[in-house]
């Protein structure tokens, strides 16, 4: 029987910040200060990537690139990406403390994993400076993984590169990639996990893929909830997820299934 030794979670949208709202607000505000109004779909498409890479990816989108050229009279440059990133970083640093609360089932999941002797790692698209705010705020509310690794810790090569996961495995002393699971709420999370050779799991409720706040999600009619859940599940499987769970209350059952195989 296979023994799972570690679960490596994402942060915003997976363990904290239902709907991954803080980064979305910061990106919209940053682009807005430069006269560009991105759609929610444009903002969420690169979610999970390092924040500079996220903005760079958005700048390459045809509509945004065209709007930038229309506003400024010339195509965007890397210096422009730097400027938008700087504004987004300032915006997110201001609001992060308000978006560090654990999602439903997180603290119970931590107790379950600790009880089974399973280590808790984490990767993120946040910088180390941002995590200096998020990690202690989350810990004060009951969520504290054994390890967190940021893109800064791996030379800026965050998701979908596998290096943050490898650093987790090293620090946690995991015996092999087969003994760990990656759980995340974005396409980039799934690709990161698969690139590292891990079983990769998408989480539906509160995810960036679904893109709803807790209030918006709970207000949906049941039929619409089911449709949104189905769409998110299909998105995860299309990008290579091994499993998809509705929320973290389903994680123990999944671990039991994996260990029996």
Last residue of a domain, one of 97, 131, 146: 97
In a domain, 1, yes or no: no
Give the active site residues.
Answer: 10, 51
Q: Give the tens place of pLDDT for each residue, 163-175.
A: 999 999 999 999 9
Q: Give the tens place of pLDDT for each residue, 14-55.
A: 999 999 998 889 999 999 999 999 998 999 899 888 889 999
In a domain, 72, yes or no: yes
CA 2 from chain centre, in angstroms, equals 27
Tell me, yes or no, whether 152 and 58 share the same domain: no
What is the spatial distance between Cα 156 and Cα 33, in angstroms, rounded to a whole number? Answer: 26
Q: Give the tens place of pLDDT for each residue, 110-132.
A: 999 999 999 999 999 999 999 99
Last residue of a domain, one of 62, 97, 132: 97
Tell me, yes or no, whether 155 and 169 share the same domain: yes
Tell me, yes or no, whether 110 and 68 share the same domain: no
For the chain, the average pLDDT equals 95
pLDDT band at residue 226 under the 50/70/90 scheme: very high
Total domains present in the chain: 2
Paired strand residues for 53: none
What is the spatial distance between Cα 40 and Cα 252, in angstroms, rounded to a whole number? Answer: 33
Domain span at 82: 22-97
Nearest CA among 143, 186, 182 for reference residue 166: 182
CB-based contact 6:168 (threshold 8 Å): yes
Tell me, yes or no, whether 11 and 75 share the same domain: no
Last residue of a domain, one of 67, 97, 127: 97
Tell me, yes or no, whether 90 and 116 share the same domain: no
> pTM score > 0.75 for this model?
yes
């Amino acid at each position: 029987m296979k023994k799972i030794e570690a679960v490596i979670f994402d942060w915003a949208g997976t363990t904290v910040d239902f709907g991954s709202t803080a980064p979305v607000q910061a990106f919209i505000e940053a682009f807005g200060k430069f006269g560009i109004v991105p759609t929610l779909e444009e903002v969420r498409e690169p979610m999970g990537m390092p924040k500079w890479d996220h903005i760079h990816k958005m700048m390459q989108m045809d509509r945004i690139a065209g709007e930038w050229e229309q506003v400024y009279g010339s195509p965007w440059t890397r210096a422009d990406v730097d400027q938008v990133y700087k504004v987004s970083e300032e915006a997110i640093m201001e609001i992060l403390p308000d978006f560090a609360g654990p999602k439903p089932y997180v603290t119970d999941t931590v107790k379950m994993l600790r009880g089974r002797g399973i280590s808790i790692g984490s990767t993120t698209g946040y910088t180390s400076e941002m995590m200096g705010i998020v990690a202690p705020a989350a810990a004060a509310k009951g969520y504290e993984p054994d390890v967190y690794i940021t893109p800064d810790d791996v030379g800026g090569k965050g998701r979908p590169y596998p290096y943050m996961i490898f650093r987790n495995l090293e620090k946690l002393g995991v015996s092999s990639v087969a003994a760990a699971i990656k759980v995340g709420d974005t396409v980039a999370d799934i690709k990161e996990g698969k690139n590292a050779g891990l079983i990769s799991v998408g989480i539906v409720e509160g995810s960036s893929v679904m893109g709803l706040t807790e209030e918006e999600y709970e207000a949906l009619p049941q039929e619409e909830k089911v449709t949104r859940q189905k769409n998110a599940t299909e998105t995860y499987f299309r990008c290579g997820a091994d499993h998809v769970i509705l929320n973290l209350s389903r994680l123990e059952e999944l671990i039991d299934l994996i260990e029996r195989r």
